[in-house]
Structure 1
Amino acid sequence: MVLLSAWSLYRPTGMPPGPRGFPVVGSLFSLTANIHLDFIKLGKKYGGIFTIKLGSNLAVVLNDYELIKEALVKKPTDFAGRPRTLSGEILTEGCKDIAQSDYNSTWKLHRKIAHQAIRAYASGEKLERLVHEQAFPPLQEALEESDGKPLQMKQLFMLTVNNVLGKLCFGHGLTLEDPEFKATVQIFDDYSETVGKGLIADVLPFMKYIPMKATDDLVRISEQAFAPWRTKFMEHKEKYDKDNIKDLTDYLIQEQKKAVEEGVGDIEKLTDTHLVQTIVDVYGAGIGSTKETMNWSVVYMVRYPDVQTKVAMEIDDVVGRDRLPLLSDRSKLPYYDAVIHELMRIRTVLPLAVPTKL
């Protein structure tokens, strides 16, 4: 045990400086729920790049703009790998998605077809149409019905983003009173709460062999969350019409059938599970980040009414009140554009990047 404890503190030669930590657990007990703030403090002490032991994992933290840019922008493929964790395997059914999958030919194929589908069904004028037809009407209706009374925006933002992504992925939207929408909200709430707690086995791998309630809860909520997406995918597969590709799910099924017909080696990379996980990545990640950014935008607009007034005036001057904004208006709305960037800076939805490995 003494030798193992000493070995757990070993660091390869040439690693950046950082806190030594304790045997086995490393620096886990030094970190708080606001781990990004803890990293900022450590950055002030050790510099823009430092090493920290998170349980059994030796992690290098980049805490400097130029270093982050070099790693993720200038050398993206060098840092495109993903470490495997127990929670990652559970949430992605064996790392069969895009976000948690390691950098390999399967990942590149799924990322490629997902990008192609998004460009085909949610870019330029098609994106504008999705927002105008799916997001704006329910928002406008709710605001008119409130008649100036206080209104809870959180569910409304969830609905508007859900409808854009629902139309993109499955070809339809929902309403506030729709049982499917209420079930979706509940799934996202339960999913966020369960995933947010994390698993101790992610940092102490040997713990995965010990039965724990947290692991069982994660398996259960993952099954509940994926069930509706699997059902929708299978419905699309049963009704698939190669002459009527109308959404992202149809596009993925089309690519799968092409691989089968052509007998190429990509068939095993395009299983139903892989495709459902790709849909989950597009749908789930899009809803989470967008609705939270919108929630915070309302908070800050209320907190700073002078900024709200300037934004409204600029929109009225450039766009007017007879139409909805277009992507082409962006260059003519410099103040509004700056406000959006500042909102994303001051309330970062995801302060830490997804872990990578060499």
Structure 2
Amino acid sequence: MWLDSLDFNSIALFLVLFILIADYVKNRNPPNYPPGPRALPLLGNFLDFDPKFPHLSFSKLAEIYGNVFSFRFGSAQLVFVCGYKMVKEALVNQADIFVDRPFSPIADRFYSSTGGGLFMSSGEKWKKQRRFALSTLRSFGLGKSTMEQCIREEIEYLQEEIQSHKGEQFRPAGLFNNAVSNITCQLVMGKRFNYSDHRFQTMLRYMAEAFHLEGTMWAQLYVSFTWLMKRLPGPHNRMFEDVVKIHEFISEEVENHKKDLDPSNPRDYIDSFIIEMKNTNLAYCAMDLFLAGTETTATTLQWSLIYLIKHPEVQEKVQEEIDRVIEQNRLPTMADRANLPYTDAVVHEIQRIGNIVPLNGMRMASKDTTLGGYFIPKGTGIMPMLHSVLFDKTEWETPDTFNPGHFLDKDRKFIKTHWKRVCLGEGLAKMELFLFIVGLLQKFLFYVLDGEELRTDGVTGATRVPHPFKVCAKVR
């Protein structure tokens, strides 16, 4: 009996030592690798950050270890890059090295065998699909007056929907998702959906939930311990179920397009993809355009109401400028922006302090390089943390305060900052934000009931969204 116990104890000790040694050997860092918190075997640094506010946790780690530091999720090594100067070094000065995405178990399951959709693919496939998407969307109005007119028409639908509440409280989140998604629908499908369309509403709910879950601890656990999480119940499973539902919705639209397709006269992105690209990645590429084109802009519009209501003096100044330049007898145009410097500054400050993508999409080093004097081996995943750029104390006068003056010079004229993020839909997003915000403030005064307070801490998933809230809108 004593010998059996000794054998069991010996085996258990051997297994523990083996795991510790294997973990050390596997995760041993090369010389001059970025520093970081000490990692636990198997778990890595999971206990070193707050999953509710990961961007704040990583900002604190940057204060300790510097703007380039390492962090382990399970056995997955990641290098965080923080601050305007270092993020620019990675994404601008070394853009050719950090253009690809690292392998993601979540993306691998999302996109099955298609190779990554529009945003998670890499190499030549990514370049080809991005060029095609950009040229095709431009041909159907992206960045043109036809797209501007489409947004202006959607503003009227949105105004009517808000006015139908007759000054009573309503939740703006769903309305903004509808309005912004309809702009993407026009480009991708050649049509818009009514705000009461149940099928469309259901798809938007799936989209919002998937986006949230993708940025939670459950998703990170899936990435770090894929073999185990695949077999366990939990919210991470809903994320994949939601994506399947969204894909089914897009696939139905693709099949409808095929029924009455005219190769000589494509109507939208789906038609063009069927004619020119001829592969099974279409539904996933279209799904990516919806996910990226809806969530970020609609979320920014939510933050715009929160900050304008919390700063009524700013809302009043914007409306005074709008009344002076446009008055209230016509909808805004992009040509008005040059004459609305304060409004333009407010829109940009909302984007900054709204901080809707506090982390970022991961990148991967395509060859050995250095960042901040540290060695970054080929294949290393890096996280250029956007929160650290938007709140960089060396770049902004009052980074933690809502201050439209960040984008105004001494003569109160709008100034462009020298940091820049470029994405496929940047031009469309800027047009939507400006026109929607001006169109809403032109017609309504937004406020909350006495005693209610709007929160600014947000809920962090793949994007940082406001806590659910209600507002009132009074017709001006």
User: If the length of structure 1 is used for normalisation, what is the TM-score?
Assistant: 0.90
Any gaps of 5 or more consecutive residues in structure 1? 257-269
Deviation at residue 331 of structure 1 after TM alignment: 1.8
Q: Tell me the equivalent position of 2:248.
A: 227
Among 271, 277, 301, the residue aligned to 1:250: 271
Among 53, 65, 68, the residue aligned to 2:87: 68
Q: Tell me the equivalent position of 1:263.
A: none
Paired with 1:85 and 1:230, the residues of 2 have a C-alpha distance of: 24
Paired with 1:284 and 1:144, the residues of 2 have a C-alpha distance of: 28
Among 61, 70, 77, the residue aligned to 1:51: 70
Give the secondary structure class of the aligned counterpart of 1:161.
helix
Give the secondary structure class of the aligned counterpart of 1:53.
strand
**Deviation larger for 245-254 or 105-114:** 245-254
Between Structure 1 and Structure 2, which shows a larger proportion of strand residues? 2
Q: Does the 8 Å contact 2:42/2:74 carry over to 1?
A: yes
Q: Are 1:107 and 2:115 counterparts?
A: no
Paired with 1:64 and 1:303, the residues of 2 have a C-alpha distance of: 28
User: If the length of structure 2 is used for normalisation, what is the TM-score?
Assistant: 0.68
Give the alignment of 1:146-185 within 5 angstroms: 146-185=165-204
- Tell me the matched-pair count: 341
Same amino acid, percent of matched pairs: 27
Q: Which has the higher contact order (CA 8 A, sep 6+)?
A: 2
Give the secondary structure class of the aligned counterpart of 1:353.
coil
Deviation at residue 112 of structure 1 after TM alignment: 0.5
CA-to-partner distance for each residue in 1:137-189, whole Å, 9 max, x for gaps?
22121233223332321121111112111111111111221122222233224
Q: Tell me the equivalent position of 2:144.
A: 124
Among 19, 24, 44, the residue aligned to 2:37: 19
Give the secondary structure class of the aligned counterpart of 1:253.
helix
Q: Tell me the equivalent position of 1:332.
A: 339
Q: Tell me the equivalent position of 1:30.
A: 48
Q: Are 1:5 and 2:48 counterparts?
A: no
Paired with 2:266 and 2:189, the residues of 1 have a C-alpha distance of: 11
Give the secondary structure class of the aligned counterpart of 2:290.
helix
Q: Does the 8 Å contact 2:210/2:240 carry over to 1?
A: no
Q: Tell me the equivalent position of 2:359.
A: 352
Deviation at residue 199 of structure 1 after TM alignment: 4.8
Deviation at residue 243 of structure 1 after TM alignment: 2.8
Deviation at residue 309 of structure 1 after TM alignment: 0.6
Paired with 1:193 and 1:335, the residues of 2 have a C-alpha distance of: 33
CA-to-partner distance for each residue in 1:300-338, whole Å, 9 max, x for gaps?
111111000111111111222222111122222111111
Q: Does the 8 Å contact 1:9/1:22 carry over to 2?
A: no
Paired with 1:342 and 1:2, the residues of 2 have a C-alpha distance of: 48
Deviation at residue 212 of structure 1 after TM alignment: 2.0
Give the alignment of 1:137-286 within 5 angstroms: 137-196=156-215, 197-207=218-228, 211-214=231-234, 216-256=237-277, 270-272=278-280, 274-286=281-293
Alpha-carbon RMSD across the aligned residues, in angstroms, is 1.8
Between Structure 1 and Structure 2, which shows a larger proportion of helix residues? 1
Paired with 1:336 and 1:57, the residues of 2 have a C-alpha distance of: 44
Q: Does the 8 Å contact 2:152/2:331 carry over to 1?
A: yes
Change (3 A) 1:190 1:26: same
Give the secondary structure class of the aligned counterpart of 2:78.
strand
Give the secondary structure class of the aligned counterpart of 1:21.
coil
Change (3 A) 1:136 1:237: same
Give the secondary structure class of the aligned counterpart of 2:211.
helix
Paired with 1:226 and 1:14, the residues of 2 have a C-alpha distance of: 44
Q: Tell me the equivalent position of 2:6.
A: none
Q: Which has the larger radius of gyration?
A: 2
Paired with 1:206 and 1:191, the residues of 2 have a C-alpha distance of: 21
